[in-house]
Structure 1
Amino acid sequence: MNNNGEQQTATAGSARIFDHIVSSLLPTRHGEFRIHVYQPVGETVEHVAIVKGDLKDQERVLVRVHSECLTGDVLGSMRCDCGEQLDAALAKISSAGQGVVVYLRGHEGRGIGLANKIRAYQLQDQGRDTVEANLDLGLPVDIRDYQVAAHILSDLGIKSICLMTNNPRKMMKLAEYGVNVIERVPVLTAHTPHNISYLRTKQEKLGHMLDFE
């Protein structure tokens, strides 16, 4: 990893996987981080790693692999818990003094894209749940892939992680790509009248580990 902003290329064997484009200091309300920009070869999408501390050869690193959510992360939508989870993850990493948020672009609406996500919202306004809405539109429920996240964690030199997630599928997929996930750290946020149905659907139909007591 080159921290002075020079582009580097990551490879698997002889095959190019992605480029590490640039990095810089990133002061935030949660403290100072370093932001790294990655771009998979042949794609235009850019992913980022928001890093605190020197993670090379570290074990049990606190990690959040976060899917892009414009409505939740940027606009503060209360229809989901995405923005709250991102904020909580950055705060927890800052408190721990070490960790990383891998922010995956192109994951909007569990991979269906922003426009389709808003189409699904329209159906949810009419009483469908988040899973039914996708299926009604002829779309998959969840097509997110975590291979690039695994490559980024490897590029950062991390040996093993404590993954901040409520999603067992995410843990399984990262493990399949060779990430040593040794612990799950829950990311529980406040329930609201706007997102309680969404969260219950994720628990009941997608197997998310949530607490509604």
Structure 2
Amino acid sequence: MADAGSGRSVVPVNGVERVVRVRLSTGHGEFLAVGYRDHALGQEQMLLVHGDIEGERVLTRLHSECLTGDAFGSRHCECGGQLDAALCAITSEGSGVLVYLRGHEGRGIGLLAKLQAMRLQADGMDTVEANIALGLPVDARDYTVAADMLHDLGVRSVRLLSNNPRKGEALLRHGIKVAERVPLLIPPSEENLAYQRAKRERLDHDLPHLDAITEHL
């Protein structure tokens, strides 16, 4: 891993400035939390590093912030399950990185707009139709800051924990090679089966496990 210093601010790499690192003990294991300031968007960002990472083929998760799923365990989506599964995979591997991307709530539309979209989905729209009905982008996420933070760590290629091929394409555009995409498949619940199917059919997510699921759980 690239030297994270003693916690002092360092010269920004591209648009991010590494500000602090601190050991973080979690229910999944021990991590090094590294905090950054994103000068381009004025946001604070964080990633977790487990073990000693090398520059190549680093097991990596880019996790988009989801307050309802990550903090409250919402069954509307599988985000909380993916976060847990990614941390488990990284600790089981013995090393890896989880990049937690703030500002990605609701695929980038924000918390309140996401809640409005959820209300429309409760009335029968899918996740794509709901965003469009609100006059918002289907997916407004940008992964520049994720690539900047990985560059700062000295990561050159990743094994990407994701079902979304667009994440890998974004990293490639920013100079991070994707050596492999590792599935992160979460069994659907009755509440999020339609949501996961919409992600597969409308957003090109690779979710082959849904083929064996009947319409009603």
Question: Which TM-score bucket, shorter chain as reference?
Answer: over 0.9
* Greater CA drift, 94-103 or 34-43: 34-43
1:152 aligned residue: 149
CA distance in 1, matches of 2:78, 2:5: 32
CA distance in 2, matches of 1:2, 1:170: 25
Is the CA contact 2:71–2:80 (under 8 Å) kept in the aligned structure 1? yes
CA distance in 1, matches of 2:181, 2:4: 30
2:85 aligned residue: 88
CA distance in 2, matches of 1:69, 1:178: 26
2:44 aligned residue: 46
Seen in structure 2, the aligned counterparts of structure 1 residues 145 and 42 have a Cα distance that, compared at 3 Å, is: closer
Show CA shifts across 1:139-178 (max 9, x none): 1100100011001111011121100000011111111111
Q: 1:9 deviation in Å?
A: 2.3
Q: 1:4 deviation in Å?
A: 2.1
Q: Secondary structure at the match of 1:128?
A: coil
CA distance in 2, matches of 1:174, 1:11: 16
2:32 aligned residue: 34
2:166 aligned residue (143, 146, 169):
169
Is the CA contact 2:86–2:161 (under 8 Å) kept in the aligned structure 1? yes
Is the CA contact 2:16–2:38 (under 8 Å) kept in the aligned structure 1? yes
1:77 aligns with 2:79: no
TM-score by length of structure 1 reads: 0.94
Is the CA contact 1:3–1:24 (under 8 Å) kept in the aligned structure 2? no
Q: 1:44 deviation in Å?
A: 3.4
Show CA shifts across 1:73-97 (max 9, x none): 0010000010100100001100111
1:65 aligned residue: 62
Structure 2 gap ranges (5+): 213-217
* Greater CA drift, 111-120 or 37-46: 37-46
Q: Secondary structure at the match of 1:8?
A: coil
2:136 aligned residue: 139
Is the CA contact 1:38–1:47 (under 8 Å) kept in the aligned structure 2? yes
CA distance in 1, matches of 2:191, 2:43: 31
**One-letter code aligned to 2:93:** A
TM-score by length of structure 2 reads: 0.93
